[in-house]
């Protein structure tokens, strides 16, 4: 395969970064701007040994699943890798991805994978957005999204996945910056003040949090920003977060409240949650209720059960469990999130939940060795890299009746399930949930049963 060679290829899959994937005489081609189902002429840009990166030169046969993307900048932005595919096909693609991973990586042949739980309205679902600030060629302050892995901001204040409030808030921030000569941060020179605006909007409560991330200690003339933002209906929390590091991590360690509370409140089902700027909170509120509903169904809790909820964030799953079990222990690495979890337990009148700060792969084995752990059910909800081996070994030793694995990465999920299901556990059922319509990622809930314990 040579650079600049042009090949005709049918796109049969999509990569995590949104390229169309096709095969050509055993080579895998990652074709930028090609869509699942297209037949394209692809130009090889970067050939490697067994695969190559290519660019779509011409769509010879457009995919029957193509739709007009609702967002005008979707191609440049790259945040919505699947926007040019019909939603129905997106769901089918995600279901297939889960099945492929479980068979190819996990070695599971006959898995019971339930139909993916999709959304009725797959836009406007995000309750959180982080907009970077920059300047355009004319020197005007702009906000939008980084294109691919670049430093280049694609101007877009009206992301269709987010709340319609974002645009109004960004406009007010830009007005304040222009009027008071407050600069936007430049990633390349590491100069300028305002890096990002983090905006959260409570789906059920309408409460709004705005946190400006700054490359400095103080926001000049902050009162003038507050005068504007406090006019927005629902505004509940305005803060600055200090991040003076030369890094692409968005938030720094220190957050100072400028106005209102340091948290906003939102609901999931009957429970209320307080959310800090730095805490993880599921971004899709509608689908979160369905995801947790499935996790609870799989946990089959009984009133006497003792449950561990690992990677518990602000205790969302933990508190649903606490309503149905005798005791729940949560483990989470981010201290702010654990503090939120404790506060949330109290605010919901739940006294049977206890939380530990630390890495799940350290806290669980340590506690197991020091005092023993008895657990009827263990829930894990790790980030994309999945669970550490030390943790999986501890789970096998603790031997709960059921393990409920909530996963945002089918490949690491399949790897971990393979390990757990070598002898002790049986994979009973998997339900994919579409938490990120228009994007490539897919979430799953998995029910594993310890061999020897019959499911109810």
Among 359, 418, 424, 441, binds ligand SAH (CB under 6 A): 359
Indicate the residue among 119 and 160 with the shorter CB distance to ligand SAH: 119
444 near ligand SAH (CB under 6 A): no
CA 439 to chain centre: 10
Select 52 or 433, whichever has its Cβ closest to ligand SAH.
433
The nearest distance, CB 316 to ligand SAH, in angstroms, is 4
For residues 39 and 8, is the Cβ–Cβ distance under 8 A?
yes
Contacts of 63 (CB under 8 A, 6+ apart): 11, 35, 36, 37, 38, 85
Q: Which of 331, 375, 421, 435 binds ligand SAH (CB under 6 A)?
A: 331
- Chain-centroid distance of CA 346 in Å reads 27
Residue with Cβ nearer ligand SAH (142 or 314): 314
Q: Is the dihedral of CA 74, 75, 78, 83 positive or negative?
A: positive
Nearest approach in angstroms of CB 315 to ligand SAH is 8
The answer to whether the beta carbons of residues 25 and 10 sit under 8 Å apart is no
Give the x/- contact pattern for ligand SAH in 290-329, rule: CB under 6 A: ---------------------xxx--xx------------
Q: Determine the Cα–Cα distance for residues 62 and 37; give it in Å rounded to an integer.
A: 7
Cα separation, 282 vs 287, whole angstroms: 9
Q: In whole angstroms, what is the distance from residue 36 CA to residue 85 CA?
A: 8
Point out the catalytic residue in the list 408, 444, 450, 451: 408
Indicate whether 95 belongs to the interface with ligand SAH (CB under 6 A).
no
Nearest residue to ligand SAH on Cβ basis: 313
Q: Which range binds ligand SAH by CB under 6 A, 97-105, 214-222, 238-246, 359-367?
A: 359-367
- Closest contact distance (angstroms) between CB of 241 and ligand SAH is 17
As a whole number of angstroms, the distance between CA 436 and CA 119 comes to 9
Strand partners, 256: 240
Buried-exposed string 12-23: b where 16+ CB fall within 10 A, e elsewhere = ebbeeebbbbbe
450 is known as an active-site residue: no
Which stretches of the chain bind ligand SAH, using CB under 6 A?
280, 282, 311-313, 316-317, 331-334, 337, 359-361, 381, 383
Catalytic residues: 408
């Amino acid at each position: 395969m040579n650079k600049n060679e042009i090949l005709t290829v049918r796109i049969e899959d999509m990569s995590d970064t949104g390229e169309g994937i096709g095969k050509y005489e055993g080579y895998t081609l990652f074709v930028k701007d090609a869509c699942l189902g297209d037949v394209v002429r692809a130009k090889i840009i970067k050939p490697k040994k067994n695969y190559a990166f290519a660019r779509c030169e011409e769509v010879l046969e457009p995919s029957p699943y193509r739709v007009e993307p609702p967002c005008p900048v979707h191609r440049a932005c790259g945040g919505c890798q699947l926007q040019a595919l019909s939603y129905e096909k997106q769901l089918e693609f995600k279901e297939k991805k889960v099945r492929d991973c479980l068979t190819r990586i996990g070695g599971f042949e006959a898995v019971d994978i339930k139909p993916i739980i999709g959304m009725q309205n797959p836009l406007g679902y995000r309750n959180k957005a982080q907009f970077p600030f920059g300047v355009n060629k004319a020197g005007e302050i702009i906000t939008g999204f980084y294109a691919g892995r670049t430093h280049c901001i694609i101007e877009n204040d009206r992301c269709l996945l987010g709340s319609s409030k974002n645009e109004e808030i960004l406009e007010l921030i830009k007005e304040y910056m222009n009027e008071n000569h407050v600069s936007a941060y430049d990633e390349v020179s590491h100069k300028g003040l305002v890096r990002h605006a983090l905006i959260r909007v409570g789906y059920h409560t309408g409460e709004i949090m705005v946190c400006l991330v700054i490359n400095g200690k103080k926001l000049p003339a902050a009162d003038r920003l507050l005068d504007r933002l406090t006019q927005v209906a629902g505004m509940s929390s305005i803060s600055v977060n200090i991040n003076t590091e030369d890094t692409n991590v968005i938030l720094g360690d220190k957050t100072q409240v400028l106005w209102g509370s340091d948290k906003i409140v939102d609901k999931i089902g009957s429970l209320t949650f307080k959310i800090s700027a730095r805490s993880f909170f599921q971004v899709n509120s509608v689908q979160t209720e369905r995801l947790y509903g499935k996790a609870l169904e799989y946990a089959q809790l009984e009133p006497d059960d003792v449950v561990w909820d690992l990677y518990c964030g602000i205790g969302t799953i933990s508190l649903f469990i606490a309503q149905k079990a005798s005791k729940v222990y949560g483990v989470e690495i981010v201290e702010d999130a654990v503090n939120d979890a404790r506060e949330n337990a109290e605010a919901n009148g739940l006294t049977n939940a206890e939380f530990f700060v630390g890495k799940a792969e350290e806290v669980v084995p340590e506690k197991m060795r020091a005092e023993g752990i008895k657990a009827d059910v263990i829930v894990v909800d790790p980030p994309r890299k999945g669970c550490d081996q030390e943790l999986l070994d501890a789970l096998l030793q603790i031997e709960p009746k059921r393990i409920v694995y909530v996963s945002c990465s089918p490949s690491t999920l399949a790897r971990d399930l393979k390990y757990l299901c070598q002898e002790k556990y049986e994979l009973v059922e998997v339900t994919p949930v579409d938490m990120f319509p228009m994007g490539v990622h897919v979430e799953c809930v998995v029910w594993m049963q310890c061999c020897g314990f019959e499911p109810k």
